[in-house]
Amino acid sequence: MHVESDGAFAIDIEQKLPPRQLMLFAFQHLLALTGIWIFPVLIGQALNLSTVEVGTIIQACFLTTGLVTILQSGRMLRLPVVQGPTAVFFVVLVAGAHSYGLGAAFGSMAVAGVIFALLSLPIRGWALLPRLAPFVSAPVVFGTLLVIIGGQLAGIGLPNWFDGDGSGGIGFISALTCAIVVLISIIFGGNTVVRRGALLIGIVVGSILHIFVAGIDLTPIRETPLLQIVQPAPFGLGVAWPLVGLMLLAYVQAGSEAMGMYSLLARWGGQSLSRGRIGRGLFGEFVGCAIGALFGGLGTTSYAENVGIIRVSGVGSRWVTMTAGICAIIVGLIPMFGILIASLPSTVLAAASTILFGIIAISGIQMMRDVVWDELNLMVAAVSFIVSLGCAALPAALFSGKDPIVQGLFTQPILVGIILLMVLQVVVNVLIRPCLERKANSAAQEMGDQTIQGTVE
């Protein structure tokens, strides 16, 4: 069945472009994958990893991003979907690595990905996760969750502007330069590649200034081969079942966000989106994430920035996004590139992450503009927001002697927020709201009958 398009695409989903235009639009999509440039380095800083180890994660993230994007743009989903590392996997991975080690964190991510891939299999047109979408993908749920994510990650950005790498005042100056360049690029970049790549441009300018004044150690780059395939299980491999449970929550968030993007792109392209097709898309996403995790790659989800590029440019061709995925895999085969990113000044990356996390939070606020803010939705959002952020300030003595993963669960706002939002959404809006509406309609009907009867009398 064909669905009427709303005219968002000047270039249709199935339309191919000349090679030069294909590469230009594909490169534009890669610039928007901000998480792939920042999250691996932040993981390295949080876990005290070496430059080479961070470079390995960066390589694996590019490979994961490329694989999942190709599967989504290809036969699995056949939509122009671009996927990249997401904040929720970043938080869960760091928390799990502190408790069980990085190898167990990546292994648990792979196991959780396989579980969700099986749950999304479109057997006879029936898939579990697409049926759950109406319960977990409401704007009040994911809008609030994005605000919570921004709030939790705020402490990673600004505090690290100051002498984060022992370079003295130049660290702060390079961070400030990065931030100013990003803001100028966003404000004056228009609907061009300058605005889409604003964070990357800011990182490059800030890093050049820093390197020019303070220098950079090129030894790891010189000692790295030009081409090299990431080896499986670079940090070892293990499975911690409590951590698998946390990873499942992260996949719920990533999958639900992806389903929202599927629906939006399909509507713009005038295509039908059956549950079976959604199931194939989710299957491709989860399988790709599981494979990527085995090589040290972070789990992915669909990027709103890339959907924005498609909307502004009108280029909805899935061949463009498939090309972006191929380019990501090629970059993932060049270890020098990963080492170079891992060697960038930490203060510059802190400045870029400050803006990125702010954008994440404000995107949540934008998403909630469609919410009808009655008392029920206020309870879903308000309780989840304040309780989840408050968990980060719980006294350490409360968890004394408890399993580290229990402490990680109840002190991580993102994880607490996911659980609270989904539970309250189902209880309040799926169970309680219909009962209250039936009661109100019954009372209104009864009052109307009494009015009619009084008039007759």
Per the CB < 8 A criterion, the answer to whether 275 and 122 are in contact is: yes
Rounded Cα distance between 393 and 411, Å, is 8
Q: What angle do CA 28, 32, 36 make, to 5 degrees?
A: 125
Helix (H) or strand (E) segment spanning residue 83: strand 83-85
Residues 6+ apart with CB under 8 A from 153: 87, 91, 353, 357, 360
Q: What angle do CA 207, 323, 221 make, to 5 degrees?
A: 35
How long a stretch of residues is the chain?
457
pLDDT at 2: 45
pTM of the model: 0.81
pLDDT at 297: 93
What is the arithmetic mean of pLDDT over 21-31? 86
Per the CB < 8 A criterion, the answer to whether 301 and 83 are in contact is: yes
Q: Which residue has the higher pLDDT, 220 or 249?
A: 249
Q: What is the CB neighbour count within 10 angstroms for residue 448?
A: 10
> Hey, which residues does 84 pair with through a beta bridge?
301
Confidence of residue 326 (pLDDT cuts 50, 70, 90): very high
Phi/psi at 274 (5° precision): -75, 165
pLDDT in tens, 98-111: 888 999 999 999 99
Per the CB < 8 A criterion, the answer to whether 380 and 140 are in contact is: yes
Taking the CA atoms of residue 290, residue 294, residue 295 and residue 299 in that order, the dihedral angle to the nearest 10 degrees is 30
Query: What's the one-letter identity of residue 291?
Result: I
Rg of the chain over Cα atoms, rounded to whole angstroms, equals: 23
pLDDT at 269: 87
CA 122 to chain centre: 24
User: Coil, strand, or helix at residue 82?
Assistant: coil
Is 196 a residue whose pLDDT tops 80? no
The full set of domain ranges for the chain reads: 19-363
* Sequence-ordered alpha helix ranges (H) in 368-428: 375-391, 404-410, 413-424
User: Coil, strand, or helix at residue 28?
Assistant: helix
pLDDT in tens, 263-316: 888 888 888 888 788 888 999 999 999 999 999 999 998 887 788 788 777 888
Report which of 397, 220, 289 is spatially closest to residue 69, judged by C-alpha positions: 289
Q: How would DSSP label each residue in 237-283?
A: ----HHHHHHHHHHHHHHHHHHHHHHHHHHHHTTB---HHHHHHHHH
Residues 6+ apart with CB under 8 A from 87: 35, 39, 149, 153, 357, 360, 414
Phi/psi at 124 (5° precision): 55, 35
Q: What is the CB neighbour count within 10 angstroms for residue 40?
A: 29
Report which of 287, 296, 299, 292 is spatially closest to residue 233, judged by C-alpha positions: 296
pLDDT in tens, 360-405: 788 788 888 888 898 899 999 999 999 988 887 788 777 777 766 6
Q: Would you tell me the crossing angle of helices 139-157 and 87-100 to the nearest 10 degrees?
A: 60
pLDDT at 4: 47
Is 412 a residue whose pLDDT tops 90? no
Q: Would you tell me the crossing angle of helices 169-188 and 198-214 to the nearest 10 degrees?
A: 150
Rounded Cα distance between 247 and 303, Å, is 19
Rounded Cα distance between 234 and 54, Å, is 11
> Hey, which residues does 301 pair with through a beta bridge?
84
pLDDT in tens, 49-104: 988 899 999 999 999 999 999 999 988 899 999 999 988 898 889 888 888 899 99
pLDDT at 125: 58
What is the arithmetic mean of pLDDT over 250-260? 83
Report which of 306, 302, 257, 255 is spatially closest to residue 138, judged by C-alpha positions: 257
Is 1 a residue whose pLDDT tops 50? no
User: Residue 120 class from Cβ within 10 Å (0-12 exposed, 13-18 middle, 19+ buried)?
Assistant: buried
